[in-house]
Amino acid sequence: MKKKIFVCRRIPELALKRLAAEVELDVWPDELPPSRSELLKHVKGCDGILSLLSDRMDAEVFEQAGSQLRVVSNYAVGFNNIDVREAHQRGIKVGNTPGVLTEATADIAAGLILATARRFSESLEQVKRLEWKTWDPLGLLGLELRGATLGIVGMGRIGMALAKRMHYGWDMNVIYTARSDKPDAETLLSAKRVNLETLLRRADIVSLHADYNPSTHHLINSTTLGLMKSSAILINTARGGLIDQSALYHALKHGKIWGAGLDVTDPEPLPSDSPLREIARCVILPHIGSATVETRQAMADIAVNNLLAGLHGRPLPHEVRL
């Protein structure tokens, strides 16, 4: 009998075709994620699930699916939407898609640094609203980036790719936090590992690349924002929950920091009544870090490889281990 798979959204077609050749495929057809009750209905009897970061995978889902469920393959590098411990206790393997989205995501982080420091949001608005009146000697002045100090919070692959761009392109000095020294960062970029407090006090740009889990929830809050320079900018391309958004709103509103560039928020999408929308120096993108044709295709290939390996009882090419 063919194995049964639920795919929580449409992903690039080629990868779906590879799956369809081997398994009985149920693909959620809508643009928006399945509701919780739809999700619970569709996973019933499945041997594998291909999930997205917006689909919560927990005991209830595993229970509904049934004891034949072997693998949950996340179409993302982050896996904070999955209760990995619970999955492992039930013998369910969990996969993710690291590596292939590193460069695309680092590009968005670099773009947000430029967009925030040079006030792209306000500038674009000015043109669109026909408020561009003249070349203004004192208008839309931003921050000079050359030689700035870049603080990478969580020096993994994406942090390193961003640090390279900014060090080689803009002569930035790099400091970082990580669980251990990163010899590559030290030899290639003369980057120094420091503790979070030192990083926040020294950096002109603070960019978040840490895993999101209970220990990093609201890592950036009113206390840690208070350590940052009033001329500093904060960039987040990791997960919205790393930042206490209400504290960020107050810090921006009262000039405690200069600006922020966010590709992720909590929740997503950003609610219509979020006051962050009104902050001119807060540039917000709709979570597009990995959104290039090539990267989304590569992620789909890995997600399908993980899924098929799990179904056949083989080790996943990219398995999440705690």
Q: Catalytic residues, which ones?
A: 239, 268, 287
Secondary structure (3-state) at 181? coil
Shortest separation between residue 301's beta carbon and ligand GLV, angstroms: 14
Q: According to CB under 6 A, which one of 56, 90, 157, 192 is a site residue for ligand GLV?
A: 157
Q: DSSP alpha helices (H): ranges in 75-233?
A: 84-89, 102-117, 120-128, 157-170, 183-189, 196-202, 222-227
**Which is nearer to ligand GLV, 53 or 232 (by Cβ)?**
53
Cβ–Cβ under 8 Å, residues 230 and 254: no
The closest residue (CB) to ligand GLV is 156
Q: What is the DSSP letter of 8?
A: S
Tokens of 107: 């590009």
Q: Which of 23/307 has CB closer to ligand GLV? A: 307
Contact predicate 92/69, CB 8 Å: yes
Q: How far is the CB of 72 from ligand GLV (least distance, A)?
A: 14
d(CA 244, CA 216): 11
Site residue total, ligand GLV (CB under 6 A): 14
Among 34, 48, 78, 261, binds ligand GLV (CB under 6 A): 78
The span of 44-52, 94-102, 249-257, 300-308 binding ligand GLV (CB under 6 A) equals: 94-102
For the CB of residue 150, give the shortest distance to ligand GLV in the complex, in Å. 15
Residue (208 or 308) nearer to ligand GLV, CB: 208
Q: What minimum distance in Å lies between the beta carbon of 220 and ligand GLV?
A: 17
User: CA 257, CA 264: separation in Å to the nearest integer?
Assistant: 19
Q: What phi and psi values does residue 291 have, to the nearest 5 degrees?
A: -80, 70
Task: Tell the smallest beta-carbon distance from residue 245 to ligand GLV (Å).
Answer: 17
Give, rounded to a whole angstrom, the gap between the first and last alpha carbons of the chain: 33
User: Which one of residues 49, 53, 115, 150 is an interface residue with ligand GLV (CB under 6 A)?
Assistant: 53
Residues 281-300 that bind ligand GLV (CB under 6 A): 289-290
Q: Does 76 sit near ligand GLV (CB under 6 A)?
A: yes
Site residues for ligand GLV, 200-259, by CB under 6 A, read 209
φ and ψ at residue 38, rounded to 5 degrees:
-65, -45
- Quick count: other Cβ atoms within 10 Å of Cβ 316? 20
Which CB sits closer to ligand GLV, 112 or 251? 112
Tell me, what amino acid is at 277? R
Q: What is the DSSP string of 70-100?
A: -EEEESSS--TTB-HHHHHHTT-EEE---ST
Q: Which of 158, 219, 284, 302 binds ligand GLV (CB under 6 A)?
A: 158
Bridge partner list, 74: 51
Residue 221, Cβ neighbours under 10 Å: how many? 16
Provide, rounded to whole angstroms, the least separation between the CB of residue 15 and ligand GLV: 15
Binding residues for ligand GLV, per CB under 6 A? 53, 76-78, 98, 101-102, 156-159, 209, 289-290
